[in-house]
Amino acid sequence: MRIALYGATGYAGMEALRIMLQRTDLEIVWIGSDTHAGHPLAEVCAQFRGASIASLRYSAMRTLEEPPDADVALLALPHGEAHRHAPGLLARGIRVVDFSGDYRLPPALYEQWYKRPAGPVETPAVYGLPEVFRADIRSARLVANPGCHATAAELALLPLAEKGWLDGQRVTVDAKSGVSGAGRSPQLTTHFVEIDGNFTAYRVGQHQHTPEIEQTLAQASRRRRRASDDASAMSGASMATDAASSGRQDDGAVKILLTTQLMPVTRGIYATAYAPAPPDMNTDALYELYRNRYENEAFVDVLPPGQIPELRNVTGTNLCQIGLFVDDRTRTILVTAALDNLGKGAAGQALQNVNIMSDLPDDYGLTATARR
């Protein structure tokens, strides 16, 4: 498989390179960077001095006349840039996995939350969350790789949404992210001195991953009801065990308040999600629900009751670790999800998607465990 990597000097792009360099079945044929065009990889990123492609030179992206000769293109670019490159690649038959938000939302939502014009949408994109859309990813031409906060929140809440328990509820996701999520271009807000010993919320209530999470969870909820309707039609049985069953007048919409906060670590998302607990729900039952939901998923690790995710157990890996707790005093479900924003939150998930698109096992080349 021949891979072209757009945006090879950002943190997500470098992580994609690092992972791919451990594989022998992938050939990295082209790396794109406007700033460093013409320079060899290892001159710009000294960590790759010993790599097989150390002397591969960056190509300019802006002035590109025709796409590189590749089977798959990974676009690890800022929002707004994928729209410029994806159509040409797709027209050439090159499959695209886009790391940005450009193809994750319908145009109206995109423009509302990203405050920029949406691009053309000739090729329909598949949302690249394998735990929900694996079948569609397999044959996709264009995959919209999920956002890092979105991946954590969605995996944390998906089993609840599929039960309909989030419909019409006040759901809160208190999320903390590492600094690499803020990108590599120097700003005062990512200066070491400003981050060291600090912790701060940002873009409170306005983070652009919010609609992406709501969309995925609403789809999960609708899917459930459709399945439920089908089942009812077939069997005539009632669905009384599902808390959010028929009587609801709402349309399955899930509303999320996403609080994003910057913590002084390089990598990681640690999201704590809060939702009302249905009657009789307890931690053990919740664990059963999640364990069943994710038992065939290589990268979702549901911890038994009493165990709590730690960020360092997922750093450098493609894992999402999930912890569960039902607080009886306030009747609240608390779900904690930990992942690496550059791993399962970006490059790792992109390569998981490439595996699926190539009929390889999800975890091919992605089995690294966390270091201490």
Q: Does 21 bind its own copies (CB under 8 A)?
A: yes
| CB closer to its own copies out of 52 and 246 | 52
Q: Tell me which of 255, 291, 358, 364 binds its own copies, using CB under 8 A.
A: 255
Whole-number Cα distances in Å, 72 to 8, 27, 37, 66, 90: 15, 10, 21, 15, 10
| CB closer to its own copies out of 231 and 308 | 308
User: In whole angstroms, how close is the CB of 74 to its own copies at the nearest point?
Assistant: 17
| CB closer to its own copies out of 242 and 310 | 310
User: In whole angstroms, how close is the CB of 323 to its own copies at the nearest point?
Assistant: 7
Q: Tell me which of 222, 266, 285, 297 binds its own copies, using CB under 8 A.
A: 266
Q: Which of residues 309-348 bind its own copies (CB under 8 A)?
A: 309-313, 315-316, 319, 323, 325, 327, 329-332, 334, 336, 338, 342
Distance CA 95, CA 299 (A): 24
Binding mask 274-313 for its own copies (x = CB under 8 A): x-x---------------------x--x-----xxxxxxx
First to last CA, the chain: 33
Closest-CA residue to 320 (of 337, 336, 295, 341):
337
User: In whole angstroms, how close is the CB of 338 to its own copies at the nearest point?
Assistant: 8
Residue 293 carries which DSSP code? Answer: H
How many alpha carbons fall within 13 Å on the CB side of residue 97?
32
Whole-number Cα distances in Å, 336 to 14, 274, 307, 353, 371: 28, 9, 11, 24, 21
Structure tokens at 294: 């994710």
CB neighbour list of residue 92: distance below 8 Å, 6 or more residues apart: 66, 67
Closest-CA residue to 345 (of 80, 11, 106, 108):
11
Q: Which of residues 203-222 bind its own copies (CB under 8 A)?
A: 204-205
| CB closer to its own copies out of 10 and 67 | 10
Q: Does 190 bind its own copies (CB under 8 A)?
A: yes
| CB closer to its own copies out of 142 and 175 | 175
Q: Tell me which of 257, 285, 291, 358 binds its own copies, using CB under 8 A.
A: 257
Q: Tell me which of 117, 199, 226, 296 binds its own copies, using CB under 8 A.
A: 199
- The reply to whether 45 belongs to the active site is no
Distance CA 56, CA 42 (A): 8
**Within its chain, how far is the Cα of 1 from the centroid?**
23
User: In whole angstroms, how close is the CB of 309 to its own copies at the nearest point?
Assistant: 7
Q: Pick the catalytic residue: 5, 82, 144, 148?
A: 148
Q: Which of residues 38-97 bind its own copies (CB under 8 A)?
A: 46-51
**Within its chain, how far is the Cα of 299 from the centroid?**
12
Q: Does 184 bind its own copies (CB under 8 A)?
A: yes
Query: CB 325: neighbour CB atoms within 10 A?
Result: 19
| CB closer to its own copies out of 100 and 321 | 321
Binding mask 141-180 for its own copies (x = CB under 8 A): -----------------------------xxx-x-x--xx
> For residues 294 and 236, is the Cβ–Cβ distance under 8 A?
no
Structure tokens at 103: 């193809």
Amino acid 16 reads: A
User: In whole angstroms, how close is the CB of 92 to its own copies at the nearest point?
Assistant: 30
| CB closer to its own copies out of 64 and 263 | 263
Distance CA 347, CA 350 (A): 5
The catalytic residue positions are 148
